Amino acid sequence: MAAIERDVRDRAAVRRHRAVLRLRAGSHPVQVRPRVKPGADTVVEFRGVSKLYGPGGIGLERATFAVNRQEMAFLVGSTGSGKSTIMRLLIKEIEPTEGTIRVAGRALEDIERKKVPYYRRNVGVVFQDFKLLPTRTVYDNIAYALQVTGASRKQIRSTLPDILRLTGLSTKLHNYPHQLSGGEQQRVAVARAFASHPPLLLADEPTGNLDPETSIGIMQLLYRINRAGTTVLVASHDNEMVDRMRRRVIELRRGRIVRDEASGLYGSSDENTDELGQRLRTETRS
Amino acid sequence: MKLGFFLKESFRSMRRNAVPSVAAFASVLVTTLVLGVFIPVVQATNGAANDIRSRVLVDVDLSPGASPAEVARVKSELQRAPHIKSIQFVSRQQGYEQERKLNPQAFALIGYNPLPDIFRVTPSSPEESGAVRAELDQSSPLGTRLLTDAAITGVQNRQAQTNTILSATRTIKLTMALLAGLLVFASVLLISNTIRLSLFSRRREVEVMKLVGATDWFIRWPFVLEGLFLGALGGAGAIGLLALAKVTLVDPLANTVKLISQPNMIDFRLLIVVLMACAIAVSAAGSGLSLRRFLRV
């Protein structure tokens, strides 16, 4: 009941704010043409999505964009610009105040609460604070993502070694999260997010707590996962790192999309993970 | 349901969260212990109250020269009357012997037997003693008494005494019921609070599980099983202590103290079953229900 009331309140607030926003719209530095190309290849699609946190708190404002299959895109912007709101909307942790979000062609609003867990199994998520289960070993943390899907012990045993090798955690199997470095913990988080091979992987500030060298390692890992065919959406406020990645960048400012470009550098998309790592290191030093 | 996995999960969680687990165990143990002491006390008190209530009697006095035929007639009339559980004939000689024992000086002073033959009637419930009396001894509008049988000279239900007994035992029963209700309420609060605290310390874990795509019941089952184990352990501990107390304290006293040897006191085996069922059900349901608010992620 309270949720409905909140929803009604939010919608009323949207209407009130819209008048103000219409006036402000002309003054934005960059005019953005939505890049929505809906079709079978669209994995993530936002259409006029707004999210208000109570009166006056704008999380996201009429955001429209689409991310295609096998694309790696970055959401950039300062704190409070709406990056995390997009991530939270995508895992259905929060509901949009208006607009439609589609993932793999399916509108998220149509997914009822009971079905949300099944939806989340198709979206891997990595957080800035890792969000590992502190009472479980590396192996158990990653295995948990498979256990929730009902995988048998045999299936898990046959799947995990590959993921552990991919993420470079083969020697840390029996360690608990508190025994690992930040970079290693984030690798575990990435491994867990990727364990069930989801078609979409979200990373919210995955390098926010890490030093530059470790960050490069995580970016390489995400790049490798992307090259294996997974759509990857990364939120980051580390503009330099994002620029060096030379991927599509969607920039947010106060809840609005102010830039959405492929950086004109898509040409280098065929570099392999090692080449990417080398380039990032060279460019970081210079 | 993958029972093996859930069992393993709940054991792991108990091991890794030893302090909250011990707290939950202890609160179940203490509550069950208190309940285990209180149930027999309530039983004994109620038993004593009922015992007193069963002493509410109605005396039907017969006329002094009532013939055996008249006595038989009144007896059959009483047997047909409603609200009567049992009747007992007390001849004037028997009555005299009983009363003289109670008050020898007064009867020595009187020097003869002034008592009539009576029927001592036990009403089917103590509250109906008035109805029994009214049935056998009806007042007419003119104030004269209309007795149902000429051989009956009066019907006494010791009105004042009966009322005192009824109101006193009612108060005792009500007080005990209230206390028992409060105790159960406090127990449920204590246990659910302990569970809540232990879950609160693990809310992040639950949040992560939800983000990975675990269904509510996938997360809930290990918690319910954990509650079930801790409840069973706490219940078993409390029953062990109760059994010890019974053997060392209550049983030796049972022969000397009336209250404890009340015949209608709860059977110890039944008490064990009741306590165990309560401990397990409250803990398991408490775990499962308390988790609900943390599952909304």
In a shared domain, residues B142 and B234: no
Nearest to B213 among A121, A134, A135 (CB): A121
Long-range contacts: B264-268, Cβ < 8 Å, 24+?
Answer: B264/B43, B264/B47, B264/B50, B265/B40, B265/B43, B265/B44, B265/B47, B266/B39, B266/B40, B266/B43, B268/B243
Q: How sure is the predictor about B108, in pLDDT bands with cuts at 50, 70 and 90?
A: confident
Banded pLDDT at B166 (limits 50, 70, 90): confident
Smallest Cβ–Cβ distance between B214 and the set A119, A134, A148 belongs to A148
User: Quick check: B208 and A93 CB within 8 A?
Assistant: no
Once rounded to an integer, what is the mean pLDDT over residues A31-39? 45
Tell if the CB–CB gap between B205 and A133 is shorter than 8 Å: yes
**B96 and B35 co-located in one domain:** no
Better-scored residue on pLDDT, B178 or A10: B178
In-domain check, residue A249:
yes
The domain containing residue A268 runs over which residues? Answer: 68-94+110-122+198-285
Strand A123-126, strand B137-139: pairing: unpaired
Question: What pLDDT does A50 receive?
Answer: 94
Nearest to B213 among A93, A120, A133 (CB): A120
Binned at pLDDT 50, 70 and 90, residue B106 comes out as confident
Question: Most A CBs within 10 Å: which of B211, B292, B294, as the mutation test of the A interface?
Answer: B211
Inform me whether the pLDDT recorded for A103 exceeds 90.
yes
Average pLDDT for B75-104 = 85
In total, the C-beta contacts within 8 angstroms joining chain A to chain B are 49
Q: Are residues B47 and B177 in the same domain?
A: yes
pLDDT tens digits along A225-237: 999 899 999 999 8
Give the residue on A whose Cα is nearest the Cα of B218.
A148
Task: With CB atoms and an 8 Å threshold, state whether B214 touches A117.
Answer: yes
The sign one gets for the Cα dihedral B32, B33, B34, B36 is positive
B9 & B39 share domain: yes
Residues B79 and B45 grouped into a single domain: no
pLDDT at B78 over 90: no
Residue in chain B closest to A114 (alpha carbons) equals B215
The CB density around residue A197, as the number of other CB atoms within 10 Å, is 15
Statement: residue A35 has pLDDT above 70:
no
Tokens found for residue A203: 């990373």
Judge if B64 and B200 occupy the same domain: no
A280 in any annotated domain:
yes
Rounded CA gap, B29 and A91, in Å? 42
Q: How confident is the model at residue A87 (pLDDT cuts 50, 70, 90)?
A: very high
Closest residue to A91, CB basis, from B204, B205, B211 = B211
The answer to whether residue A73 is domain-embedded is yes
**Mean pLDDT, rounded, for A178-206:** 94
Identify the domain boundary among B121, B138, B157: B157
Tokens of B235: 């219940």
Contact B205 A134 (CB under 8 A): yes
Which of A38-42, A102-106, A154-158 is predicted least confidently? A38-42
Q: What mean pLDDT do residues B221-250 have?
A: 88
Instruction: Give which of B209, B212, B293 to mutate to test A binding, by max A Cβ within 10 Å.
Output: B212
The reply to whether A278 falls in a domain is yes
Closest residue on chain B to A191 (Cα) = B212
Per-residue pLDDT of A15-31, as tens digits, reads 554 443 443 444 444 44
Give the separation between CA A19 and CA A179, rounded to whole angstroms.
53
Structural domain includes residue A174: no
Out of A75-89, A159-173, A213-227, B275-289, least confident range:
B275-289
Phi/psi of residue B257, nearest 5 degrees: -100, 130
Out of A93, A118, A147, closest to residue B5 by CB: A147
End position of a domain, from candidates B105, B130, B157: B157
- CATH code, domain with A216: 3.40.50.300
What is the residue-averaged pLDDT of chain B?
81
Query: Is there a domain that residue A266 lies in?
Result: yes
Q: For residue B243, give Cα distances in angstroms to A233, A286, B41, B278.
A: 64, 79, 15, 17
Contacts of A135 in chain B (CB under 8 A): 12-13, 16-17, 205
- Residue A279: inside a domain, yes or no? yes
- Among chain B residues, the shortest Cα distance to A91 is held by B211
Report the number of distinct structural domains present in chain A.
Answer: 1
- Nearest CA to CA, how far is B213 from chain A (Å)? 4
Rounded to an integer, what distance in angstroms lies between the CA atom of residue B295 and that of residue B206?
A: 7
- Has residue A130 been placed in a domain? no
Residue B13, min C-alpha distance to chain A (Å): 8
Q: Could you tell me if B177 and B76 lie in one domain?
A: no
pTM recorded for the entire structure: 0.69
Q: Which of B157, B192, B207 is the last residue of a domain?
A: B157
Q: Which residue has the higher pLDDT, B271 or A100?
A: A100
Looking at the structure, do residues B119 and B251 belong to the same domain, yes or no?
Answer: no
Residues of B in contact with A196 (CB under 8 A): 213
Which residue in A103, A147, A153 has the most chain B C-beta atoms within 10 A of its own C-beta, making it the best mutation to test that interface? A147
- In the predicted model, is pLDDT for residue A150 greater than 60? yes
CATH of the domain at B139: 3.30.70.3040
Share of chain A above pLDDT 70, in %: 83
Nearest C-alpha in A relative to B12: A135
Report the pLDDT value the prediction gives residue B65, as an integer from 0 to 100.
Answer: 78
* Total domains in the fold of chain B: 2
Query: Are both B134 and B276 inside the same structural domain?
Result: no
Residue in A51, A41, A186, A57 with CA at minimum distance from that of residue A105: A41
Query: Would you say residue A126 has pLDDT above 90?
Result: yes
pLDDT, position A1: 52
The pLDDT, as a whole number, for residue A36 is: 42
The per-residue pLDDT for A10 is: 56
Check the CA dihedral A40-A41-A46-A47 and report its sign. Answer: negative
Range of the domain at B227: 3-52+165-295
